[in-house]
Structure 1
Amino acid sequence: MDGRFGKAGAVGGKLLFAGALGLLAFQMSGRTATEPAAAPSPPAAKAPAPIAQAAPPPAAAPVALPAAAGDDAFVVRRVLDLKAPLHHGEYAWDDAGVPQGPIVITIDLAAEMLSIFRDGYEIGAAPILYGADSKPTPLGTFPILQKDAHHVSNLYGAPMPYAMRLTNDGVFVHASEVSWDAATHGCIGVPKPFAQKLFAQARIGDKVIITKGRMMDVSGLRGPA
């Protein structure tokens, strides 16, 4: 289903960070760095110099987790290393050097973020539009049922470029004008240039996993694997 309208209760000016989905059993461990001991005091002072403790690293941006393990679980090898938050209407893409492999698309409604993984490597991320309270976007795992680069909604007569059908009752991922104060009739809207890249990567049967606020730490996953 397509259609854009104002989203009640939207948070103005909210900055979104790139997200990604990971294996439920995947665990990360943090390390606290220490600096070398300070130089010793003059011979008259016998007390040892204290060891200075480095400040803890900044918290990593959270990424989405699937609702359950099993078929929905996969190994995340890398997430995109973004230098700044993404605003609505922006996107990030970097598939240089990433091997061919299975495609998994993850969507977290709480973070308002879609990520695409190829062989476990995040290659793209973008803020999204999603269904308003009266037309909510469903949660769960959905295989892509249909692809149509020039789809037009049979309910609203609206163009839905680069549409990928998730459900038989009209929920798609498709290109849209993405702004923080808008919503859809249940579909997932992404910026058109990003939608075109997404459409080119995904195949019929590829999984799209939609969650709402299940997060994990991704410390250590940024950059090359």
Structure 2
Amino acid sequence: MGTPRIARGAVARGVISVAALIGAGGILAAPAASAQAAAPCGPRAAACIDLSDNAAWLMDNGTVTYGAVPITTGKPGYETPPGTFSVTYKDIDHWSKAYDAPMPYSVFFTTSGIAFHEGSLREQSHGCVHLSPEAAKAFFDGLTPGDVVEVVP
């Protein structure tokens, strides 16, 4: 009997179905390395961003509640800064005046205008954290002003 495998991308999408957990012998098995173990942030973080792995999570007291999800971040010259920040405000239908572009489901966490928001997962940003439409909604719904956002290099 082979080792149970998770459907490719199931953990990255933040969804593991029963079918994804069924091994070759039809036995349910938990993943050996879960997205929860991979989140590199501390217990204060409500959101965790790993710049080197292009991944983000929502967390509660050190436990992953959503993710890992794929992200894109700042391009050269506009790098997303590492550090510990707090959510400052949210705007479901934000429009960037600086870049004349929509930023749906924006959750701002720096004083320089960097936010999580729906955006391209193929192109880097001007510092913001781009999320898929589904993940952007989850981060918007899951975070409130004052929540800690940890960004690790």
Q: Fold match, TM over 0.5?
A: yes
4+ residue segments displaced more than 6 Å: none
CA contact (8 A) 1:16 1:112 kept: no
Is 1:65–2:40 an aligned residue pair?
yes
Is 1:154–2:129 an aligned residue pair?
no
The CA distance in 2 between the partners of 1:120 and 1:190, in whole Å, is 21
Where is the helix percentage greater, Structure 1 or Structure 2?
A: 2
Question: Match of 2:119?
Answer: 176
Is 1:194–2:130 an aligned residue pair?
no
Shift of residue 194, structure 1, vs aligned partner: 1.4
Could you tell me which of 107, 115, 122 is aligned with 2:49? 107
Cα deviation code 1:177-202 (max 9, x no counterpart): 322xx100110000112111211111
The number of residues matched between the two structures is 124
Unaligned runs of 5+ in 2: 1-8, 13-30
Shift of residue 119, structure 1, vs aligned partner: 4.1
The CA distance in 1 between the partners of 2:70 and 2:134, in whole Å, is 13
TM-score by length of 2: 0.72
CA contact (8 A) 2:107 2:139 kept: no
Question: Match of 2:110?
Answer: 167
Shift of residue 158, structure 1, vs aligned partner: 0.4
Cα deviation code 1:14-48 (max 9, x no counterpart): x7964xxxxxxxxxxxxxxxxxxxxxxxxxxxxxx
Question: Match of 1:139?
Answer: 82
Unaligned runs of 5+ in 1: 1-14, 19-57, 67-72, 75-101, 213-225
Where is the strand percentage greater, Structure 1 or Structure 2?
A: 2
The CA distance in 2 between the partners of 1:65 and 1:103, in whole Å, is 10
Shift of residue 207, structure 1, vs aligned partner: 0.7
Could you tell me which of 201, 205, 209 is aligned with 2:146? 205
Counterpart residue type for residue 60 of structure 1: A
TM-score by length of 1: 0.50
Shift of residue 59, structure 1, vs aligned partner: 6.8
Say what the alpha-carbon RMSD is for the aligned residues.
2.3
The CA distance in 1 between the partners of 2:11 and 2:79, in whole Å, is 22
